[in-house]
């Protein structure tokens, strides 16, 4: 007869261990032979076999633990097998409480439910660029956020620029980047590089990363399916081939969004004659959001949001309406590259987009923070 004491492991796990180990009630089996078959370490002075850390059964041990097998024979017809567990941590038979990291994860998921319900089935247009494109960990963060949002039922659309990448290639070709009022001055040679970098490299890299992360992305430019029709800006003499959106036809986007795909749009388009134009990605994102009737437009930037005092990071404006943000522009509290971002937010809001947010792309998972929390992370502009 073999007797087993109570164990600080689940009985089913212990049974599984014993069955696979092939223990029998026959004491006459040599301890050394059993130790060899089970990858156990025999004690030289006692009838003790200890499970080593390299044993294939060590996965049963939740904490650093030693199992000891103590054989005793009180008479010729009776044997007893005692299994003891020693651990550096005190183990009880009560259910183990979740670890702090697991509990935190559960809390986050629970708190996200109202926001998932609010945005489920809604289109969210995200403009991606700046620092979030430079650092691999930030790029991975944006991609994983997009995939997660898609998985829980939102309909994300990604519009991207590629300023850092364009600057890199211009530098390699000894071409000095020039900006005028926050917009890139684009001559014919620069336009050729912009098209190659945005459409041929940045766009396809993002599509590949999103597909690898588990979603289905489709790469487009403004020229695909006549999604965007461009026209030169009024100050084209200063900016060159920098364009504006003459019109937008979202026909090619609707089936993609409806089928759960993530459109990835490069901000390059052509006019009626086929001339390519570099269009500010913020502007494209705003027009796409308006055409799709998006619930939300989000611009990832290299600043915390709109600041009342540009020299004071603590002066972040959490929420403001169109009238208030126009006043900030008039007072010259908003200037430089922030002006096109604010203007595209205002334009999209005036065309039916519910809210537009300017958030800090330098913060990991800022996209999720903005959508899945009450306080958000940047500046939200309301209509």
* Phi–psi pair at 271, nearest 5 degrees: -90, -170
In a domain, 61, yes or no: no
> pTM for this structure?
0.72
In a domain, 42, yes or no: no
Domain count along the chain: 1
| pLDDT at residue 141 in the model | 92
102: number of CA atoms within 13 Å, CB side?
A: 4
Grouped pLDDT means (10 residues each) for the chain, 383 residues: 38 37 40 46 43 41 42 44 46 56 72 86 93 86 94 95 88 86 83 94 96 96 95 89 94 94 97 93 95 96 87 87 91 82 92 94 91 87 89
In a domain, 94, yes or no: no
In a domain, 207, yes or no: yes
Nearest alpha-carbon partner for 378 in 152, 130, 202: 130
Q: How many other CB atoms are found less than 10 A from the CB of residue 380?
A: 23
CATH number of the domain residue 350 falls in: 3.40.1160.10
Q: For residue 211, what are the domain limits?
A: 111-382
In a domain, 150, yes or no: yes
Report whether 146 contacts 160 (CB < 8 A): no
| pLDDT at residue 95 in the model | 57
Q: How many other CB atoms are found less than 10 A from the CB of residue 148?
A: 20
DSSP string covering 45-93, please?
SSS-EEE-TTSTTGGG-SSSEEEEEEEEEEETTEEEEEEEEEESS---S
In a domain, 164, yes or no: yes
In a domain, 182, yes or no: yes
Q: How far apart are CA 40 and CA 63, in angstroms?
A: 18
Please give the C-alpha separations between residue 15 and each of 22, 58, 163, 258, in angstroms, as whole numbers.
11, 14, 62, 51
In a domain, 88, yes or no: no
């Amino acid at each position: 007869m073999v007797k087993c004491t109570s164990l600080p492991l689940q009985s089913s796990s212990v049974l599984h261990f014993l069955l696979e180990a092939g223990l029998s009630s026959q004491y006459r089996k040599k301890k050394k032979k059993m130790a060899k078959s089970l990858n156990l370490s025999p004690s030289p002075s006692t009838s003790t076999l200890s499970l080593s850390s390299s044993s294939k059964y060590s996965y049963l041990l939740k904490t650093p633990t030693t199992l000891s097998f103590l054989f005793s024979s009180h008479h010729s017809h009776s044997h007893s097998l005692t299994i003891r567990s020693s651990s550096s941590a005190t183990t009880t038979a009560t259910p183990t409480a979740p670890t702090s990291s697991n509990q935190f994860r559960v809390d986050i998921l629970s708190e996200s439910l109202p926001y998932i319900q609010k945005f489920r089935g809604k289109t969210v247009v995200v403009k991606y660029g700046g620092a979030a494109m430079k650092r691999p960990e930030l790029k991975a963060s944006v991609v994983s956020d997009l995939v997660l949002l898609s998985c829980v039922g939102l309909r994300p659309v990604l519009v991207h620029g590629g300023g850092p990448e364009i600057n890199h290639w211009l530098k390699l070709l000894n071409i000095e980047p020039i900006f005028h009022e926050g917009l890139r001055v684009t001559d014919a040679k620069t336009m050729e590089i912009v098209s190659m970098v945005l459409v041929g490299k940045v766009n396809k890299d993002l599509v590949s990363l999103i597909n690898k992360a588990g979603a289905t992305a489709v790469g487009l430019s403004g020229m695909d399916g006549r999604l965007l029709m461009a026209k030169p800006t009024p100050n084209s003499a200063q900016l060159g081939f920098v364009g504006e959106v003459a019109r937008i036809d979202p026909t090619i986007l609707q089936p993609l969004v409806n089928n759960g795909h993530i459109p990835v749009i490069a901000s390059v388009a052509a006019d009626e004659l086929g001339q390519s134009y570099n269009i500010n990605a913020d502007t494209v994102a705003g027009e796409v959001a308006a055409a799709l009737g998006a619930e939300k437009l989000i611009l990832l930037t290299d600043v915390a949001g709109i600041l009342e005092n540009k020299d004071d990071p603590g002066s972040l404006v959490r929420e403001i309406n169109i009238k208030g943000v126009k006043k900030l522009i008039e007072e010259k509290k908003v200037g430089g590259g922030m002006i096109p971002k604010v203007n595209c937010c205002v334009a999209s809001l005036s065309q039916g987009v519910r809210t537009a947010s300017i958030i800090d792309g330098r913060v990991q998972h800022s996209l999720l923070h903005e959508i899945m929390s009450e306080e958000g992370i940047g500046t939200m502009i309301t209509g």
